[in-house]
Amino acid sequence: MQIKVWDLPTRLFHWSLALSFGAAYLSSRSDQWLIWHMGLGYLMFALVMFRVYWGMVGSRWARFSSFKPSILAAYRYAKHALSKEELAHPVGHNPLGAWAIYTLLILVMVIVGSGFAYWQYDILLGETIHVWASNLSLVVVFLHLCGVVVSSIKQRENLITAMITGNKQGEAHHAISYTHAVWAFFLILIILTFLWVIAYKPSYLGLVV
């Protein structure tokens, strides 16, 4: 049966970070978009900080305690995914997805921190780290997408749609009780505020070129 697994803040964070990262990466190709590139970095930092907070106090399947990273569990899941065996239907994040999430959260912090170090203090090592971390993030995202496709096929469940609607296959007692719309509204305000500042008041963030 279909149950509600992903709350609104979790879904909003997921797609907002994906779009912010994509836009930041593309805007790095032109000096004309440098303000947006740096501003989106600040937004990504704010999004990750919110996710860290939400990972501690959010709904059941959004909490970090529900998807602790495990090398053994990830290996077993990958082995089953690539075999002809039936793949289990984890209610929350699967073991490979858990590693992708933790890795990307760390990489985003490295990207933002190294970019800040290079821009504010002209630390050349910061630029090198910034580029490498950004490219590594693209690799992780690609592997994550491949994992989502394979898992969706093997589980016969569209995991991309699940992160849009919040619904997955599961038993009734695994469903979350609230979608936390108020927190989602709060996150939307954060996102819109950052976008407004970047577009009209970049100096508030020290974004002056």
Report the alpha-carbon distance of residue 107 to residue 175 in Å, rounded: 31
Beta strands in the chain (DSSP E): 2-4, 167-169
* Contact (CB, 8 A) for 130 and 25: no
* Contact (CB, 8 A) for 133 and 111: yes
Greater model confidence, 137 or 122: 137
Structure tokens at 112: 């933002």
pLDDT 10s digits, 54-69: 999 999 999 999 999 9
Q: What is the pLDDT of residue 86?
A: 67
125-154 mean pLDDT: 93
**Angle, helix 8-27 to helix 34-57, in steps of 10 degrees:** 160
Residue 209 has pLDDT above 80, yes or no: no
Query: What is the total count of domains within the chain?
Result: 1
Q: What is the pLDDT of residue 85?
A: 72
CATH code of residue 150? 1.20.950
Eight-class DSSP state of 169: E
Short-list 65, 69, 67, 63, CA closest to 7: 63
Range of the domain at 69: 2-205
**Could you identify the residue written with the tokens 């740096």?**
38
The model's confidence at residue 90, banded by pLDDT at 50, 70 and 90, is confident
HEC-encoded secondary structure of 4-20 = ECCCHHHHHHHHHHHHH
